[in-house]
Structure 1
Amino acid sequence: MQIATAVSENERERRAKQSSEDKAKRLAWRVNDACGALGISRSHFYDLAAAGKIRLVKIGGRTVVHDAEVQRLASEGA
């Protein structure tokens, strides 16, 4: 049982590392993820979008924001 637990913990660590690497290479962000990365609320995020300070894109039924927009907002501020 302890071997299975150790493998499980190693697998969780690998997946967490891979997930953070994948997020660093994103082309677009889901709204919740962008808000988390920017440290702002969803409400404030949508206020910025309504004010034209950040562009949103609909892909299928999901609203996303281009990585360049997130990076710009992070560096310039709102």
Structure 2
Amino acid sequence: MSSDRPPALADPPIRCHHLTHSHQREGAHRPVPRGHSEEITVDGETQPVIVKLGVWVSNTKTRRDKLAADQLDGLRAIGMEWA
């Protein structure tokens, strides 16, 4: 399956980075709506890329039982109480 998405966007730490910024901007007490997207700049790309942050959070929350302990710890560290 091919994707037009830059490989960097498949990297969970990048998404956690943007989730951290979203929490700082909006407040950690506010959930990320499923439809929320962030426009980011990715090295090597000429145009900004849209990251569907709300979908990623929702999917990660749904699949949290499959995450490693260090992944859950990282999510808790940025304020994801469900982790």
TM-score for the superposition, normalised by structure 1: 0.29
Higher relative contact order (CA 8 A, sep 6+): 1
More helix per residue: 1 or 2? Answer: 1
TM-score for the superposition, normalised by structure 2: 0.28
